[in-house]
Structures are given as C-alpha cells and as structure tokens.
Structure 1
Amino acid sequence: MGVTIRQIAEAAGVSRGTVDRALNNRGRIKPEVADRIRQIAEEMGYKPNQLGRALSMSKNNIKIGVILQAAETPFMQCVLEGIERAKDEVDSLGGTVLLCKIPHISGRDTIDAMEHMRSEGVSAIAMVPIEEEEIKAHINLFVEEYHIPIVTFNSDMEDTKRLCFVGQNAFQCGRAAAGLMGELVGGCGKVAVISGYSSNPSLSNRVLGFGSELKIKYPEIELVGPEYCFEDNHLAGQATEKILKENPDLKGIYMTSHGEEGVCRMLAKYGRAGTVKMIANDFMGKNYELMREGSIHFLIGQDAQIQGYEPVMILFRLLFNGEQPKGELQYTEIFIRNEYTIPENL
C-alpha cells in the first residue's frame, strides 16, 4: 500500500491541507515548512501521482453537508471556526462542504436542511440534532434508505442509526457542576438550574447529571427548576428574577447554556451577585469578565473547535478511503476554571 497524505501529515505534525499545498506549490505556506514536508514525503516513499488520483476521486464523489443549530450563540461561533478549518482542508483535497447555519433551535428547519442537503447530492451529513421523534426518524431514514451516513456533534442521538458522536459528555459535565456546587454552598440549601432548550439533548443531559449527582452526594440540597431561557440573555434575566422572588434564600445557580450575562445582570440588580454562587459553561463571550467580577465562580469548558472540525473529517476519511471512526462516542475533554486560572491574555 502506498504512502498516504494523512501519514505524511501525521509525521510532519501538520494538516493534510498543508501537505497538499506543500506538495503542489499552492502557496500560503512557509517555505521552510514546505521543504520539511517534501523531505518527509520523499523519505516515506510518497509517489506524487497518488495525490492526483485522490483529488480526482474526492472532487467527483465527496460532498459533505453540515447543519449547525443555534449558530449565533458564542459557543457555536467557536464550533463554526472548526467547521471552517475542516472545510478549507476538504476543499484543498478536492471535496466540498456545504454548510447550513440555523440561528435558533428548530426541528422543522433541521429536517428542511437535511432534505436540501440530499437534493444537493451530499454523500454524508454532520449535524447538531434536537430531541424530537421526527428528527430521529429522519436520521434513520437517511442512513437506512438513502445510505447517507450521519455524524452528530455537540448534541447526540444515541437511539438512532447515526455513525458516531463528537462532543462533550454532557451528563458527566452536569455531575462535575454538581460536585463544585455542593462544595460552594456547603452541601445544603436551595440551588436553581437555568437551561436553554428542553429539546437540546446536550443541555438536558447536563441537567440530568447535575440533579442525579446532587441527589446522591448532597441530599440536603433542594433543586429549583429547571427554568428555560432559550439561550437568550433577556429571558435568562427574567428566569433569574422569577427564581429570586420565589426563593429569597437561594444559594446557587447552575447555568447550563448561553444566557450568563442576563443571569448576572439580574443577580446584580437584586444585590445577590457573588453571594449566590454561580457555575456556568464555556470559556467565551463575557464569561471571563463576569468571573473576574465575582459573579461566576466556576466555568466548565469543552473543546468547541474540535466539535466542528472532527465530524467533517471523520466523514471525509470514511468517504475517501473507507476509514471507520475510532469509536461511537468521541468525547471531548472537560475543563474547569475559576478566577485564578483565567489565561492572562484574556
């Protein structure tokens, strides 16, 4: 078997798109990097005509669709950066990536996007699903009837025929938040949960993980909610105000989704910022600023860019040379930060 572009890329510690540019003098690459890649390729016995065959095959056959929901939220904007990076790499190898950005969460719009992708002749789809039976049925239809493999990312649909999932272990994230919250509030009192969408499997699993861990480890904590804000700061503020009025003795809030600014503004309005312990998700938006101010006590993060990049590349590798994903559940690492571990340059 001949040497592949991927093997050269791994040996050189660069992307396959960079290898393509180096071997084909496409520019946009430092001369010293290009020289090193060519030397590695020669040492490995790479035959230049392999690339031509690869590009020809991928250009004729490989078209990947990507459906990104809640595309305007800060987290999904970071996911989008990973998608764009994968798109550039696939494009450089002769393939095509079609991207559909849905600004909100919508089952109907998701199905419409899937059907549009099919009409455009995609060979595979990477998508962020939501918890609706019609979505599940449509995923199974695409895989079984249309033979279009599907990779889910950010949110999963385990009880479907999807190929694999790339993203955070949301249940474990919720458990981690519960452990932190239990210590922050001294193991007792009222703690509220504010989430984005009940139909988002990832957010729902965070809520489930949080509640189940509190019940086991901190049975004296009373769980309030969840309230839903649809990842909107104004609605998150309204939900917080409702919770504070109904629970003046509230000790903590776990925010599972975007909407952190709205929560913190309302806590400040009621003079509760800092005294109501708050845990939120993701290192983006104004979260670091809110943490420096003392409104957020812990942030639980995940690798957003890999959630955009890897699903596209999993499908490209599958379509290009039949390479199966390394596993059904490809969880990204869970990171935890507080005010003392904020990067100095942020």
Structure 2
Amino acid sequence: MVTVEMVAKMAGVSRGTVDRVLHHRGEVKSETAERVRQVMRELDFQPNTLGRAFSIAKKRNRIGIFLSAREPDFQEQIKQGIEDGVAYAQQHGIEAVIEVVSPDDELLYLQKIDEMIASEVQGIVLRGIESKAFDERLQILKNQGIPVFTYNQDVRPALRNCYVGIDSCRAGKCAALLMRQISPPDGYALIVGVTPQHKDSEKRIEGFLEQWGLAPKASSGYRIIYGEGYHDVAYARTRDVLNEMPNITGIFVSGAGLSGVAQAVYERGTADVQKIVGFDATQRNITYMKNGTVQFLIDQSPYQQGYKAVQLLVDYLFEGRAPDVSCYYLDAHIKNAFNC
C-alpha cells in the first residue's frame, strides 16, 4: 500500500506538503505541487476515501450551485445535468443548495454568494460573470479554501479550480468554417454577440474572425452587434441591421438569442440568402433549423456542463481528488436539420 510518507520521500518534500497538495490547503508552489502530483500518479496513490467518508459523515456538508435565469430552454438542459449531479452528491453524504439567479442581476448574485459563504458551504459551482465585485467574492472563497468550479462561462483561472464547457475560441473557428461552406466567397457576415462582457461569447467571436479572415481571395467583411442574450432584443436589432444592410450573406450568433435572429430572417423571407450558424440545440432553435432558417447549430453539451461540474466538485471534496486539468473541455457537436 502506497502511503503519504512514501509519496513525500520520493517527491523530496515533507508529509505536510503532500497533505496540502492532496487536500488543497494552504499555499504550495506550482512546480512543487506538480512534482507531488506526478509522484502520486507514478505510484498510483489512492487517498483514504473511507477515512474521508467518516470525516464527512461527522459534519454537515453542503455545496452551493448557481443556475442562470437567462435562456430558459438552454438552462433547462444544464439543470437536468445539475440535478443528476446533486443526486451524485447525496450519495456521498453531501447536500446541495441551488440558487437561480440572472447573470444580469449582479447585486443579487453577490448577495447569494455572501449567503453561501456565511452558511459555510464546502464548495461552489457557478456560471461566471464579468464583474470586479464578483472577482472579489471569488478571491474571498479562495482565501477561505472554498473550491469553485465554473461552467458555461469562465472566470479568471486564478480564481477557480476548474472550468467545464467547450473551448470557445475553437468553437468560433468551427462556426467560421461552416459559414464559409454555405456563403459566397465575397460574403459579408453579421455577428450577433451576447454582450461585450460575456467572455466566452467574445472568445467565440475572436475565433470566428480569425478563421473568417483566412480564406484566400474572400471578403472578410463583417459587422458586430449585441443582442444581450434575449430573443426580443436580438430580433429587433437584427431586423434593423438587415433592413439597413441587405448585402449580408451570413449571420453568426455567438450565444443566446439565436431564435430572435432567426425570427428576423424568417419574417423577411431571406433564409436562402442569409445563412445562420450559431449555438445551442434548444427546441426553439431546432424548429428554425428544421424549417430551413438556421443551417448549423453547435451544441455545447449543456447536460454534461451541469453534471460534470458538480461531479468534479464532489470528487474533490469526498476523495481529495483534484481535476487533472484546469479546463475540462467538452465535445462540441455540430447539428443540422437531419441529425437534431
């Protein structure tokens, strides 16, 4: 049986250092921590999960989970994964508190985080938002040794343990390649983002533009607008731009709001000219794809986002097992009218 002492001796560190790396307590230099983890892998070291189970059973263990209130169809898919993740947590003697908060309501988001800190949760799963005050809360969690796992929208890597979701930059490049297949060589693209503060939406746009400009002898013309992630806003702003710029041949939607964009194109009767590529295989989006208004959807594995983020946190708490990677990238599936 491999012991902590054996790991410490082989890694050239103290037993206390191994314990801090194993249970993520205190500060350990990154190169030292990686050396200890490498030795653990080489020796196939397994933490004493039975001992941790007894420890967990002796106290009330609780994790906090945040669900976004934006785009209900998409969030319902994430919610299904989170609910199964909660069942997984319960099997390990860990209860979960779920809060449904709009990412646009920063004050409420901060209030709920404060409440979770006060209730002494052992870990948190959340969707990130762009906010200095939000980052300050995450720093408090880090200082208190409370692990944070993010999904769907990331935060600064230094403020969380692991992100679960797709590689947004590569997904944006994929969308540009798809658009090039269905648009004329001299096509002009309309890009509909969520908000400039939505990090992953912006990463997808960056990836799209990088790939969009690579095609030889092709127009790299584009215009960017923001639909704020809501159907009605995306619809109105897309409608206005299409009235102003009928030369647009392709529309890339980097996140929520695609159904509003599709409605604007559908009402104009120009789906044969203005091709749409976007994200999320929600029922509303699939309806527009089946009637020919949307050509491709990139599915973000929302169920796995919810489930895996919770599972990784539970494994971290119950077994002392940290994720092998800081970003747990999920598969992005390309959907069309024949495989949705």
- Could you report, residue by residue, the CA deviation over 1:153-187 in whole angstroms, capped at 9, with x for unpaired residues? 11112343311111111111111001111221133
Larger RCO: 1 or 2 (CA < 8 Å, sep 6+):
2
Give the corresponding residue for 1:130: 129
Once the two structures are TM-superposed, the CA of residue 201 in structure 1 deviates from its matched residue by 1.4
The answer (yes or no) to whether the contact 2:166–2:332 under 8 Å persists in 1 is yes
- Residue 86 (structure 2) pairs with residue 87 (structure 1): yes
Q: Aligned with 2:289: secondary structure?
A: helix
The answer (yes or no) to whether the contact 2:169–2:208 under 8 Å persists in 1 is yes
Q: Aligned with 2:164: secondary structure?
A: strand
Percent identity among equivalent residues? 25
Separation in 2, partners of 1:211, 1:59: 54
Separation in 1, partners of 2:102, 2:133: 20
The answer (yes or no) to whether the contact 1:128–1:156 under 8 Å persists in 2 is yes
Give the corresponding residue for 1:276: 274
Separation in 1, partners of 2:330, 2:315: 19
Give the corresponding residue for 2:100: 101
Give the corresponding residue for 2:313: 315
Give the corresponding residue for 1:337: 335
Separation in 2, partners of 1:314, 1:116: 23
Instruction: Pick closer, same or farther for the CA change 1:87–1:202 going to 2, 3 Å.
Output: same
The one-letter amino acid of 2:158's match is T
Range with greater deviation from structure 2 (240-249 or 131-140): 131-140
The answer (yes or no) to whether the contact 2:190–2:223 under 8 Å persists in 1 is yes
Q: 1:80-229 to 2 correspondence within 5 Å?
A: 80-144=79-143, 146-217=144-215, 220-225=219-224, 227-229=225-227
Once the two structures are TM-superposed, the CA of residue 197 in structure 1 deviates from its matched residue by 2.6
Q: Aligned with 1:189: secondary structure?
A: coil
- Residue 265 (structure 2) pairs with residue 267 (structure 1): yes
Separation in 1, partners of 2:59, 2:282: 39
Separation in 1, partners of 2:134, 2:243: 38
TM-score (structure 1 length as normaliser): 0.79
Separation in 2, partners of 1:81, 1:338: 23
Runs of 4+ in 1 over 6 A off after TM superposition: 50-53
Instruction: Pick closer, same or farther for the CA change 1:289–1:323 going to 2, 3 Å.
Output: same
The answer (yes or no) to whether the contact 1:142–1:148 under 8 Å persists in 2 is yes
Once the two structures are TM-superposed, the CA of residue 61 in structure 1 deviates from its matched residue by 4.5
Give the corresponding residue for 1:54: 53
TM-score (structure 2 length as normaliser): 0.80
The answer (yes or no) to whether the contact 2:188–2:220 under 8 Å persists in 1 is yes
The one-letter amino acid of 1:157's match is V
The one-letter amino acid of 2:153's match is S
Once the two structures are TM-superposed, the CA of residue 295 in structure 1 deviates from its matched residue by 0.1
Once the two structures are TM-superposed, the CA of residue 136 in structure 1 deviates from its matched residue by 2.1
The one-letter amino acid of 2:172's match is G
Once the two structures are TM-superposed, the CA of residue 72 in structure 1 deviates from its matched residue by 4.9
Q: Aligned with 2:59: secondary structure?
A: helix
The one-letter amino acid of 1:277's match is K
Q: Matched residue pairs, number?
A: 293
The answer (yes or no) to whether the contact 1:126–1:153 under 8 Å persists in 2 is yes
The one-letter amino acid of 1:195's match is G
Which runs of no fewer than 5 residues in structure 1 stay unpaired?
A: 3-49
The answer (yes or no) to whether the contact 1:255–1:279 under 8 Å persists in 2 is yes
Separation in 2, partners of 1:115, 1:274: 51
Which of 284, 307, 315 is matched with 1:286 structurally?
A: 284
The answer (yes or no) to whether the contact 2:71–2:256 under 8 Å persists in 1 is no
The answer (yes or no) to whether the contact 1:302–1:333 under 8 Å persists in 2 is yes
Q: 1:16-95 to 2 correspondence within 5 Å?
A: 54=53, 57-58=56-57, 60-95=59-94
Give the corresponding residue for 1:306: 304
The one-letter amino acid of 1:110's match is Y
The answer (yes or no) to whether the contact 2:52–2:319 under 8 Å persists in 1 is no
Once the two structures are TM-superposed, the CA of residue 137 in structure 1 deviates from its matched residue by 2.6
Which runs of no fewer than 5 residues in structure 2 stay unpaired?
A: 3-48
The one-letter amino acid of 2:270's match is R
The answer (yes or no) to whether the contact 1:274–1:296 under 8 Å persists in 2 is no
Separation in 2, partners of 1:213, 1:339: 24
The one-letter amino acid of 1:259's match is G
Q: Aligned with 1:340: secondary structure?
A: coil
